[in-house]
Amino acid sequence: MILIGPPGSGKGTQAQRLEQLLGAVHLSTGNVLREEIAAGSRLGNAAKTFMNSGQLVPDQLAVEVVAAFMKRGGSDTDYILDGFPRTTNQAEELDRILDERGLAVGKVVEIHTDDEVLMERLTGRFGCTKCGEGYHKSFKRPKIDGVCDKCGGAEFDVRSDDKEETIRDRLGVYHSQTAPILPYYAKKGLLVRVEGDKSMAEVTKEIETILTDGR
């Protein structure tokens, strides 16, 4: 399954909620690239400037992340792709990678959300430094303030690209480069749309229904 949506639409949140329910592996190209930057790797160094300015990294780097990740999985692994593909070229490369592994795209879920909602979500977001669990200062606080629900960690951080100006650039990039790939999947009959401004639980329920009913 592919989750497509603008920054802050809830791709990561929904992927985390769905991975256990579906027994699938969550692959966020953004998370992998941030880990590579933290590790100071060749890939991280090549991606850093693009990510900090809210631009897409070159297709070749994003494709490299996905191909390497899938190589480590079995041929029967199901994936939830969060943040990939983001260009038509990436969508075509994904078909090639999956085809080589005897896999295919199942559903493509567009999480449609208005830009005004997204700004509030992204400027209030923080995450656990240790395990990466995502939170929001209004919509999803840890059960005990200052303690991560998932791993008990006590340190949290804010993403370097969650500054208002960079968020605007990321939204612009989504509308100009990523939204245009939606017709690619619509033509294949794989695209479904959910409204991302509902509660997290309602969005999850809708995606689950789509997957079980095959609508």
Binding site for ligand AP5 (CB under 6 A): 5, 7-13, 28-30, 33, 50-51, 54-57, 62, 83-84, 86, 90, 121-122, 125, 134, 136, 139-140, 170, 199-200, 203
Alpha helix (H) residue ranges in 109-178: 115-123, 164-173
Q: Give the DSSP letter of residue 9.
A: S
From the list 130, 159, 163, 193, the catalytic residue is 159
Q: CB-wise, 101 or 198, nearer to ligand AP5?
A: 198
Q: CA-CA distance, 178 to 61, in Å (whole number)? A: 16
The answer to whether the peptide bond before residue 85 is cis (omega within 30 degrees of 0) is yes
Tell me whether residue 170 is one of the annotated catalytic residues: yes
Q: CB-wise, 53 or 76, nearer to ligand AP5?
A: 53
From the list 11, 17, 34, 121, the catalytic residue is 11
From the list 17, 34, 121, 125, the catalytic residue is 125
Q: CB-wise, 3 or 214, nearer to ligand AP5?
A: 3
Q: CA-CA distance, 158 to 129, in Å (whole number)? A: 9
Tell me whether residue 86 is one of the annotated catalytic residues: yes
Tell me the Ramachandran region of residue 175: left when phi exceeds 0, alpha when psi lies from -120 to 50, beta otherwise. Answer: alpha
Residues designated as active site: 11, 86, 125, 159, 170
